[in-house]
């Protein structure tokens, strides 16, 4: 299994029977296998999570599916194979057998974001993947009660998948926040993960890495990945 961090919150996860592309809006795609289904997931319509660049993929890959927040799905061109997603629902995609690949499926559970759109819990090929989108404990420099409400909302949504741990977790670690570590700390407290992929830090990778010195995150340093390309068993 290969995970490629493309940019910001854009990631490609290459599984044995399919490739999942999350919130890609800019940056060069890795060399993705064309003989397997490509599933494009978009959590919401913010310009740093969704771009028109996802639609020409239908011309480059023989089997492209789209799993999209319902607001983004409304933007889909005619003929695109789209599953429109709403919060607190479950969806199952039967994936094809392109070029002799074994039949497979993708199960997607959606959580509600406390910003816009949804978060995803995707399961395929025996691997579970949590992708936050803009669901997070957003600890901005603002009144304390607003930050407390954000933390409560985040933990309440996570309680829906608290039977974890998940295999891969993609969670914001945004240096702009007053408490950037709160989201990962809450996720590991409620759900847990075998591998953590911080996101939502644009060009501030050095600042994001430095946040791992936070006492709440230091225990997870060994399972936290900032690499551009990560190979996992």
Q: Specify whether the CB–CB gap between 192 and 164 falls below 8 A.
A: yes
- In this prediction the pTM is 0.97
> In the predicted model, what is the mean pLDDT of residues 142-157?
98
Q: Which helix (H) or strand (E) holds 205?
A: helix 205-210
pLDDT, tens digit, for every residue of 7-38? 999 999 999 999 999 999 999 999 999 999 99
Structure tokens at 39: 């599933």
> What does the alpha-carbon distance between residue 88 and residue 36 come to, in Å, rounded to a whole number?
28
CATH of the domain at 215: 3.60.15.10
Task: Please name which of 54, 44, 5, 36 lies closest in space to residue 173, comparing C-alpha atoms.
Answer: 5
| % of residues, the chain, pLDDT over 90 | 95
> In the predicted model, what is the mean pLDDT of residues 180-199?
98
* Pairing mode of beta strands 229-231, 38-42: unpaired
> What does the alpha-carbon distance between residue 76 and residue 53 come to, in Å, rounded to a whole number?
12
SS3 content of the chain, % helix, strand, coil (to 5): 25, 30, 45
* pLDDT confidence band for 222 (50 / 70 / 90): very high
33-54 as b/e, with b when 16 or more CB fall inside 10 Å? Answer: eeebbbbbbbbbbbebbbeeeb
> What does the alpha-carbon distance between residue 188 and residue 180 come to, in Å, rounded to a whole number?
14
Structure tokens at 227: 């690499």
Query: Structural domain of residue 168, as residue ranges?
Result: 2-231
Per the structure, how many domains does the chain have? 1
215-227 as b/e, with b when 16 or more CB fall inside 10 Å? Answer: ebbeebeeebebe
User: Which residues fall within 8 angstroms of residue 63, CB to CB, at 6 or more apart?
Assistant: 36, 37, 38, 95, 96, 98
> What does the alpha-carbon distance between residue 182 and residue 138 come to, in Å, rounded to a whole number?
8
């Amino acid at each position: 299994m290969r995970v490629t961090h493309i940019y910001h919150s854009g990631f490609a996860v290459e599984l044995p029977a399919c490739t999942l592309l999350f919130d890609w809006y800019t940056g060069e795609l890795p060399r993705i296998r064309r003989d397997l289904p490509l599933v494009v997931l978009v959590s919401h319509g913010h310009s740093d999570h969704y771009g028109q660049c996802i639609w020409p993929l239908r011309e480059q890959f023989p089997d492209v599916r789209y799993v999209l927040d319902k607001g983004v799905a409304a933007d889909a061109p005619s003929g695109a194979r789209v599953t429109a997603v709403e919060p607190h629902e479950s969806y199952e995609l039967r994936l094809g057998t392109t070029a002799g690949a074994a039949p497979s499926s993708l199960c997607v559970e959606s959580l509600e974001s406390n910003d816009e759109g949804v978060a995803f819990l995707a399961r395929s090929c025996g691997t579970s993947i949590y992708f936050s989108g803009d669901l997070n404990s957003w600890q901005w420099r603002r009144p304390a009660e607003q930050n407390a409400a954000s933390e409560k909302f985040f933990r309440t949504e996570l309680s829906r998948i608290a039977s974890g741990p998940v295999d891969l977790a993609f969670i914001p670690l945004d240096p702009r926040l007053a408490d950037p570590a709160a989201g990962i700390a809450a996720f590991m407290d409620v759900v847990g993960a075998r591998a953590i992929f911080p996101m939502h830090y644009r060009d501030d990778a050095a600042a994001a890495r430095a946040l791992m010195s936070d006492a709440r995150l230091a225990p997870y340093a060994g399972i936290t990945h900032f690499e551009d390309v990560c190979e996992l068993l």
